[in-house]
Structure 1
Amino acid sequence: MTDNAPSAQEVTLHNGVVMPTIAFGCAFGDWVGATEFQGFLPEQAWRAVSLALDNGYRAFDGARAYGTERIVGTLLGQRFASGELTREELFITTKLAHPAAPPHINISHRRTWDADKVDDIAQKVRDDMVDTLDDLGLGYVDLLLMHWPGGFGEHTSSDPDFPRKARAAIWRAFCGLADKGAARAIGVSNFTIAHLRQLMEDVPEPEYRPTVNQLEMHPYCRDPELESFCRDQGIVVTAYAPFASGAFGMLRDPVLATIAERHGKTPGQVVLRWHVQSGRTALPKTTKAVRMVENRDIYDFTLNNDEMQAIDALGDGQARRTCPDPSTVA
């Protein structure tokens, strides 16, 4: 059994699957206004994922909505063909059931959908999974996540309980995919305590309890109550946007800078170390090789209690988010 201690480079999910604590995020584009809003730019994945593989990354976090799965699959296939990599060395995560994006955002309507606009929810999930595995060129993924608990707007169903029923239908489809071996583990993303409680009531079998809840989580965006709930349920919390996607000047925060200088590390390394010591896994993303190396070099130092508490305190008050607030999803 792999050690689940905060310093471990891997965690063991409640179904026994071993997952690295650091994975490379495969969503590319600008979401925080550094440039004019772009939506996803999958072309940036060619160089970035190649560099990540060169620099030792073996865990990759993607999604149907990102448009990068064919690129990731092609690059992995080249390494398989050369004998440099085997499938067993990799941990591949994908996400399905991303709700429809607003029309002004450049995300394909063929990769996103609202459950109330689909005739057969379970069949839509299965069809998307076929397309995802085809793009990846893989027979299975290591982790399959429900991307969001529901749509961003008002649903059109006359049934007020429709969002909850849709989540259960998607989850049952996920359970079927796991049973067939298409996914070694299944989990969720952007789920609140209420969403999780409902799902576990509607699909109560313990073997189908979510293994992971992937959330926007960084020093300026914390939810201790949700993390405590997940911990009590044996659900691993994974932090996406661990650096706030470069927003809010977070990596220039004087608290992080002071701690980094004390340890001879960068603020980014301090943030990732804080995530891991807090019991989370994290998904750093960068296009720079030097940052890729730094982001994996976080296991040779430890933050003391005062430092951990100082970083925790940065997230007191209103959470600063780069993505929609999941609590607004019905």
Structure 2
Amino acid sequence: MHDNGSDLRTITLHNGVAMPSLAFGCAFGDWVGRTAFQGFLPEQAWRAISLALDNGYRAFDGARVYGTERILGTLLGQRFASGELSREELFITTKLAHPAAPPHINISHRRTWDADKVEDIAQKVRDDMVDTLDDLGLGYVDLLLMHWPGSFSENTTGDPDFPRKARATIWRTFCELADKGAARAIGVSNFTIGHLRQLMEDVPESERRPTVNQVEIHPYCRDPQLETFCREQGIVVTAYAPFASGAFDLLRNPTLTAIAERHGKTTGQVVLRWHVQSGRTALPKTSKAARMAENRDIFDFALSDEEIQATDSLGTGEARRTCPDPSLVA
């Protein structure tokens, strides 16, 4: 049975931290080949994040690799200075340990790294965290995620267990950062069941299992087994690319448009309602103020079990992804 009666505006992580069910995504640019330029375009964040703040967003999902943390930090600082906002009203997520990107993508090599090319993994994570907090102008983040479980390229160390050991090292460093108060909660991103099982075996303390696993989920890209596993472990699933980043004509799907018409809502609102009603949190991103307001206006209607199932059934074939497949990461 899907929860369609409660407000669903927040979800409580297993360590007791309340996390908003919708956060504004702070990655801008194109890294999936839709335009000639491939890489991040942080300059687009200035206007978009300003509009998001104006439209009531208080949760922002960023990452070291996006190049937008200084922009977010500056815009938040202006509102701290005016008294319009306080730190306690915000929920800020960042992600560290993004592997080196393919050479054709214009992403800074200083913001990405492969664990097998780093002398001291733990120190690299600590240094990146200092840089991230400096850019944000904050003393702590609300959620810190390991961006990917490992490298997109082959492990060069000769040790087949190296990727697993590297994940455990990064995770123990995250635990240390959380102990110091640099992060209120810690989690992972793009982890499979296998990655999660290994991590929980290697760092077995119960309170140290990830609070969140952020993965690509939309009606054309689902992993029910992963979601079931996470639910059993008390790990909240966050959907990035909740609309498939505009790919595959998802928002014109006739099943979704019919549901939207029945509720007097947009297709995007139906997709976001499907996410939160299914127990996930989601990261909608748009540069249009009207769409930002629309995306937050999903708490005054509920999908029926039949509508949830009809949406679920759109993703029963092979997953259509806009980002790399995490199952290919060792």
Distance in 2 of aligned mates of 1:6 and 1:216: 25
Matches within 5 A, 1:65-84: 65-84=65-84
Matches within 5 A, 1:1-330: 7-330=7-330
Using the TM superposition, give the Cα deviation of residue 32 of structure 1 relative to its aligned residue in structure 2, in angstroms.
3.9
Q: Secondary structure at the match of 1:323?
A: coil
Higher mean C-alpha deviation, range 63-72 or range 31-40: 31-40
Distance in 2 of aligned mates of 1:299 and 1:85: 24
Q: Secondary structure at the match of 1:22?
A: coil
Distance in 2 of aligned mates of 1:117 and 1:256: 45
1:89-126 deviation line (CA, Å, top 9, x unaligned): 00000000000001111000000000000000000000
Distance in 2 of aligned mates of 1:301 and 1:4: 8
Using the TM superposition, give the Cα deviation of residue 5 of structure 1 relative to its aligned residue in structure 2, in angstroms.
7.5
Contact residue 4 and residue 277 of structure 2 kept, 8 A = no
Contact residue 38 and residue 104 of structure 2 kept, 8 A = no
1:59-86 deviation line (CA, Å, top 9, x unaligned): 0000000000000000000000000000
Q: How many residues align?
A: 328
1:27-82 deviation line (CA, Å, top 9, x unaligned): 00123444224210000000000000000000000000000000000000000000
Contact residue 126 and residue 173 of structure 2 kept, 8 A = yes
Distance in 1 of aligned mates of 2:222 and 2:181: 34
Whichever residue aligns with residue 171 of structure 2, its letter is: W
Structure 1 unmatched runs, 5+: none
Q: Secondary structure at the match of 2:316?
A: coil
Structure 2 unmatched runs, 5+: none
CA distance 1:186–1:48, shift in 2 (3 Å) = same
Contact residue 274 and residue 308 of structure 2 kept, 8 A = yes
Q: Secondary structure at the match of 1:249?
A: helix
Whichever residue aligns with residue 204 of structure 1, its letter is: P
Using the TM superposition, give the Cα deviation of residue 8 of structure 1 relative to its aligned residue in structure 2, in angstroms.
1.5
Distance in 1 of aligned mates of 2:6 and 2:64: 30
Using the TM superposition, give the Cα deviation of residue 155 of structure 1 relative to its aligned residue in structure 2, in angstroms.
1.0
CA distance 1:98–1:130, shift in 2 (3 Å) = same
Taking structure 1 as the reference length, what is the TM-score of the superposition?
Answer: 0.98
Contact residue 215 and residue 239 of structure 1 kept, 8 A = yes
Using the TM superposition, give the Cα deviation of residue 194 of structure 1 relative to its aligned residue in structure 2, in angstroms.
0.2
Distance in 2 of aligned mates of 1:110 and 1:217: 28
Distance in 2 of aligned mates of 1:44 and 1:147: 22
Distance in 2 of aligned mates of 1:157 and 1:90: 41
CA distance 1:217–1:6, shift in 2 (3 Å) = farther
Q: Secondary structure at the match of 1:92?
A: strand
CA distance 1:224–1:213, shift in 2 (3 Å) = same
Identity of aligned residues (%): 84
Whichever residue aligns with residue 105 of structure 1, its letter is: I
Distance in 2 of aligned mates of 1:32 and 1:100: 15
Contact residue 4 and residue 10 of structure 1 kept, 8 A = no
Taking structure 2 as the reference length, what is the TM-score of the superposition?
Answer: 0.98
Query: Superposition RMSD on alpha carbons, in Å?
Result: 1.2
CA distance 1:143–1:36, shift in 2 (3 Å) = same
